[in-house]
């Protein structure tokens, strides 16, 4: 085979792969479709769609689910992704817990495992052990549910294929798109605030025996917002996540912006004061030290609290005091809205987003109560034109979208490249 033939074959394969990805994405977001609707949505020819769908049915990824009457024509076959074809996992290392969830191909949640930890740090080995054990027990649970349920009868369904595990972690992830242990550069996790230096997850990939993908948790949550949530269809948007720590994911031209070594979005450690209090990152005056949950609580209480983990109880008390018109609580909230508005206005001036989605467990509460005040605060500090243009929105997915976001990593890999080898 000469070079030209080889490259023509390669490009035919690429086109086919791209078209296949278009059809699967359509099926994923439409839930139910028909061959003709898939053709309209993807702008592919009827013949191409028919071929691709028939391959996907042969592979078991797509099932025919009955008929739909169509006015004046033949009834159309309803198509959907096959929930029994494959499972995949999403996990997120949050501030006080690791969440592991299993999904089927229609994105129904099949099961969940949670590991809570106290203190700021968690040993990466503990993360690996929890995930390896959790995945094994979830697979067992799912297989048991999918079998007939009759004691003496063998399972009629073959065990579902596993597409992989996506893991969202704090900090900066170098080489996030590489699949751990399979090819190329390994993802390296640098999470200064939790004490992780160049942590790898190779041993987890070996224990799992299927593809593992690692990315920053704010980025995976942003991907979930872009696929299913408030940032759906947004070309230029920012998802800010506020908990005790603060992060952001930036979407430009419809894609996640990463920067040269994937650290873009570390908005929580941009500075809004020259002589502010010291941050977990070692510097001073970071956004996180003004709008992170425990920072806000410390201001309200007028003292330096020992960090005791996710302070929901403390935050609830602060909101209650605000509702009871306690002057200190009103001052703390007004201070929060001012500083958060200022920090968001910097993003508005830098990126000119159409939309900013406010999420994270604390961010969700702020957005629920103060979205209008926050928008006014952004307008006070931003340039007029981009400030007027930006829409501020509370996250539609809520604050437990982190594991779902991480699960989009193996799903995306399946859509783009096919079944894992």
Residues in touch with Zn ion (CB under 5 A): 269, 279, 281, 286
Q: At what angle do helices 3-30 and 35-42 cross, to 10 degrees?
A: 110
Least Å distance, CB 305 to Zn ion, is 18
Q: Which lies closer to Zn ion via its Cβ, residue 195 or residue 398?
A: 195
Around 69, how many Cα atoms within 13 Å sit in the side-chain half-sphere?
A: 2
Least Å distance, CB 26 to Zn ion, is 42
CB atoms within 10 A of CB 2: 7
Per residue in 86-110, is it b (16+ CB within 10 Å) or e — as a string?
bbbbbbbbbbbebbbbbbbbebeeb
Q: Which lies closer to Zn ion via its Cβ, residue 165 or residue 279?
A: 279
Q: Which lies closer to Zn ion via its Cβ, residue 62 or residue 297?
A: 297
3-state secondary structure of 140: helix
Structure tokens at 297: 């609580």
3-state secondary structure of 213: strand
β-pairing verdict for 237-242 and 246-252: antiparallel
Q: Which lies closer to Zn ion via its Cβ, residue 230 or residue 262?
A: 262
Least Å distance, CB 400 to Zn ion, is 25
Q: Measure the CA–CA gap between 420 and 397, rounded to whole angstroms.
A: 29
Closest CA to 401 of 232, 179, 205, 186: 232
Least Å distance, CB 381 to Zn ion, is 20
Q: Measure the CA–CA gap between 296 and 142, rounded to whole angstroms.
A: 42
CB atoms within 10 A of CB 325: 8
Least Å distance, CB 397 to Zn ion, is 26
Least Å distance, CB 242 to Zn ion, is 14
Q: At what angle do helices 3-30 and 402-417 cross, to 10 degrees?
A: 140
Least Å distance, CB 357 to Zn ion, is 22
Contact 393/76 with Cβ under 8 angstroms? no
Task: Kindly list the distances between the CA atom of residue 293 and the CA atoms of 161, 193, 341, in Å, as whole numbers in the listed order.
Answer: 41, 15, 16
DSSP-assigned letter for residue 84: T
Q: Which lies closer to Zn ion via its Cβ, residue 80 or residue 170?
A: 170
Q: Which lies closer to Zn ion via its Cβ, residue 277 or residue 317?
A: 277
Least Å distance, CB 402 to Zn ion, is 21
Least Å distance, CB 267 to Zn ion, is 10
CB atoms within 10 A of CB 59: 14
Structure tokens at 160: 């579902």
Instruction: Strands of 338-397 (E only): list them.
Output: 355-359, 391-394
Q: Which lies closer to Zn ion via its Cβ, residue 286 or residue 318?
A: 286
Q: Which lies closer to Zn ion via its Cβ, residue 104 or residue 266?
A: 266
Q: Measure the CA–CA gap between 149 and 381, rounded to whole angstroms.
A: 61
Q: Which lies closer to Zn ion via its Cβ, residue 115 or residue 280?
A: 280
Which residues are bridge partners to 216 per DSSP?
169
Least Å distance, CB 269 to Zn ion, is 4
Quickly tell me which residue has 């970071």 as its tokens.
286
Q: At what angle do helices 293-301 and 361-381 cross, to 10 degrees?
A: 80
Least Å distance, CB 290 to Zn ion, is 11
Q: Which lies closer to Zn ion via its Cβ, residue 80 or residue 245?
A: 245
Q: Which lies closer to Zn ion via its Cβ, residue 160 or residue 245?
A: 245
């Amino acid at each position: 085979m000469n070079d030209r033939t080889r490259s023509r074959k390669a490009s035919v394969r690429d086109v086919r792969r791209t078209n296949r990805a278009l059809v699967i994405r359509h099926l994923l977001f439409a839930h139910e479709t028909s061959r003709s609707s898939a053709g309209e949505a993807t702008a592919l020819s009827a013949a191409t769609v028919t071929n691709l769908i028939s391959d996907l049915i042969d592979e078991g990824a797509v099932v025919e689910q009955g008929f739909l009457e169509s006015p004046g024509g033949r009834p159309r076959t309803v198509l959907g992704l096959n929930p029994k074809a494959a499972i995949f996992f999403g996990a997120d290392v949050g501030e006080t817990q690791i969440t592991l969830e299993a999904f089927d191909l229609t994105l129904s949640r099949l099961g969940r495992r949670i590991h809570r930890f106290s203190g700021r740090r968690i040993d990466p080995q503990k993360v690996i052990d929890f995930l390896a054990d959790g995945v094994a027990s979830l697979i067992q649970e799912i297989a048991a549910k999918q079998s007939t349920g009759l004691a003496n009868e063998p399972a009629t369904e073959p065990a579902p294929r596993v597409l992989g595990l996506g893991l969202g972690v704090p900090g900066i992830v170098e080489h996030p798109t590489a699949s751990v242990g399979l090819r190329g550069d390994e993802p390296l996790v640098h999470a200064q605030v939790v004490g992780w230096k160049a942590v790898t997850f190779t041993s987890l990939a070996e224990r799992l025996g299927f593809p593992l993908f690692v990315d920053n948790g704010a980025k995976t949550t942003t991907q979930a917002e872009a696929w299913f949530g408030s940032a759906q269809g947004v070309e230029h948007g920012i998802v800010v996540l506020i908990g005790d720590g603060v992060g952001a994911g930036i979407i430009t031209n419809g894609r996640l912006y990463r920067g040269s070594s994937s650290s873009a979005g570390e908005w929580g450690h941009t500075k809004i004061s020259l002589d502010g209090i010291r941050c977990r990152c070692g510097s001073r005056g970071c956004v996180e030290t003004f709008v992170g949950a425990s920072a806000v609580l410390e201001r309200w209480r007028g003292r330096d609290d020992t960090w005791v983990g996710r302070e929901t109880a403390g935050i609830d008390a602060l909101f209650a005091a605000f509702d009871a018109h306690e002057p200190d609580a009103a001052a703390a909230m007004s201070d929060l809205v001012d500083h958060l508005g200022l920090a968001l206005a910097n993003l508005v001036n830098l990126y000119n987003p159409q939309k900013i989605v406010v999420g994270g467990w604390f961010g969700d509460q702020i957005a629920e109560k103060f979205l209008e005040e926050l928008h006014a605060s952004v307008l006070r500090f931003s340039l007029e034109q981009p400030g007027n243009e930006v829409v501020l929105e509370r996250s539609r997915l809520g604050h437990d979208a982190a594991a779902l976001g991480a699960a989009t990593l193996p799903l995306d890999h399946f859509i783009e490249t096919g079944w894992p080898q």
